């Protein structure tokens, strides 16, 4: 069977567009990269964080490549595979013998080298986050397209990007306030983290509005992906989810809503916490409104403000569902105007 993909290094990427064939690349650059396997119908499908181009004969095979990456990461970051390195004061993961050198190479060129540690300091991390807002690719159109593909189950990794974007939307420059973590933005004063481990939870399909340090790593990787093409079928799945939520009775809590979604199998490739993540994203958009705190789509609330607002939650709310989703009830309904504002039908499959 012929190999149907090739990953090769490339330096000049400015004029490269996704979907370009090898022959089109040749016209632009006067040459094509040296490839072990050559097929003129191959197209540029992905630019990895390490400036490698992924060529595929069939662009739909990208999902298979993502599944392969997920499979390798799962072998390495299995919870029982970790150990604490006393000399370096950090939690590391062993690379099991089942992971081959070819597997490690695939991870490396995709910017997912295991035990990829970096020390993050508050002011520098904040500056890098704010700098991302200047990236012309980081638009509402891009992040909502990612989210929709995540909701459909086609690209679970894409579920987080909208949440990370919302955190960044109204974030402002400020001095560190607090002890270990900033009481304004939640970023640590200083912390060493394995960036690949940060991303692993998103490859699993989770999305969180907590641990904002991870948002930097998440967005930096997400911006190396091409914008997903949203079909009418994709958009329909999102519309069906929102309509399903709108049918909640007045006393329905987030916990009961999650169970109802699970029972009706509305969200594919999800477990309880992945469903909470999707709902939490809708809450941070203001689509699932609450009366306790403004969603990040509208304004940035400090960690201290979040703590104070959380004290107002009644005991009937589940303690593991934080604001803003934790403040939603069926009687709050769905803000359809906000939904249409964010998920513009003209740019998403209609």
Nearest to 163, CA basis, from 212, 126, 236, 204: 212
What's the pLDDT at 18? 65
pLDDT digits (tens, 9 = 90+) for 183-206: 999 999 999 999 999 999 999 999
CA nearest neighbour of 329 among 250, 246, 245, 272: 250
| CA torsion through residues 164, 166, 167, 173, sign | positive
For residue 9, pLDDT over 90 is answered with no
**Sole residue written with tokens 């004063």:** 189
Residue of 51 and 260 predicted with greater confidence: 260
Tracing tokens 């060129």 back to the chain, one arrives at 109
Question: Quick one: which of 129, 111, 131 has its CA closest to 194?
Answer: 111
pLDDT tens digit sequence for 92-115? 999 999 999 989 988 988 889 999
Residues composing the chain: 350
Of 162, 180, 120, 118, residue with least CA distance to 283:
162
Contact 43, 21 (CB under 8 A): yes
Phi-psi region of 35 (alpha: psi -120 to 50; beta: other; left: phi over 0): beta
Residues 202, 25: Cα–Cα separation, whole Å: 32
Q: Structure pTM?
A: 0.84
CB 253 within 8 A of CB 318: yes
Give me the chain's average pLDDT, please: 87
- pLDDT at 211 > cutoff 60: yes
What is the model's pLDDT at position 55? Answer: 59
Q: What is the pLDDT of residues 29-80, one digit of tens each?
A: 666 666 655 566 666 666 666 655 665 555 455 566 678 889 999 999 987 7
Q: When comparing pLDDT for 245 and 20, which is higher?
A: 245
Residue 239: pLDDT band (50, 70, 90) is: very high
Q: Look at residue 128 and give its three-state secondary structure.
A: helix
**Cβ distance 278 to 207 under 8 Å?**
yes
Is the distance from CB of 146 to CB of 166 less than 8 angstroms? no
- List alpha helices for the chain, DSSP H: 22-29, 62-76, 101-109, 122-132, 140-152, 161-169, 195-203, 213-222, 232-246, 254-263, 272-285, 303-310, 336-342
Give CA–CA dist 30/342, Å, rounded: 42
3-class secondary-structure state, position 45: strand
What confidence score (pLDDT) does residue 238 get?
A: 97
Q: How far apart are CA 152 and CA 63, in angstroms?
A: 13
The DSSP bridge partners found for residue 121 are: 190
Query: Rounded CA gap, 106 and 117, in Å?
Result: 18
Q: What span, in angstroms and rounded, lies between the C-alpha atoms of 274 and 258?
A: 10
């Amino acid at each position: 069977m012929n190999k149907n993909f090739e990953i090769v290094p490339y330096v000049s990427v400015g004029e490269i567009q996704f979907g370009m064939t090898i022959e089109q690349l040749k016209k632009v650059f006067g040459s094509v990269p040296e490839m072990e396997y050559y097929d003129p119908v191959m197209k540029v499908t992905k630019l990895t964080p390490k400036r490698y181009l992924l060529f595929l004969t069939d662009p739909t095979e990208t999902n298979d490549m993502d599944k392969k990456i997920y499979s390798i990461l799962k072998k390495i970051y299995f919870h029982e595979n970790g150990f604490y390195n006393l000399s370096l004061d950090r939690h590391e993961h062993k690379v099991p013998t089942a992971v081959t050198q070819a597997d490690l190479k695939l991870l490396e060129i995709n910017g997912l080298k295991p035990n990829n540690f970096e020390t993050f300091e508050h002011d520098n991390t904040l500056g890098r986050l704010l700098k991302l807002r200047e990236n012309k690719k980081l638009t509402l159109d891009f992040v909502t397209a990612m989210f929709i593909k995540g909701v459909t189950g086609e690209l679970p990794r894409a579920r987080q990007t909208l949440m990370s974007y919302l955190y960044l939307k109204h974030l402002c420059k400020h001095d560190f306030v607090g002890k270990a973590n900033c009481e304004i933005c939640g970023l640590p004063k200083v912390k060493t983290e394995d960036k690949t481990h940060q991303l692993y939870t998103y490859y699993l399909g989770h999305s969180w509005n907590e641990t904002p340090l991870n948002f930097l790593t998440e967005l930096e990787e997400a911006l190396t992906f091409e914008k997903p093409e949203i079909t009418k079928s994709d958009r329909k799945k999102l519309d069906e989810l929102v309509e399903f939520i709108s049918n909640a009775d007045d006393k329905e809590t987030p916990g009961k809503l999650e169970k109802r979604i699970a029972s009706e199998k509305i969200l594919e490739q999800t477990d309880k916490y992945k469903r909470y993540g999707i709902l939490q994203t809708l809450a941070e958009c203001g689509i699932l409104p609450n009366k306790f705190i403004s969603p990040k789509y509208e304004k940035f609330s400090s960690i201290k403000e979040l703590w104070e607002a959380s004290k107002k939650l009644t005991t009937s709310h589940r303690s593991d569902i934080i604001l803003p989703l934790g403040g939603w009830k069926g009687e709050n309904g769905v803000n359809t105007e906000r939904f249409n504002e964010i998920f513009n039908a003209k740019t998403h499959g209609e």
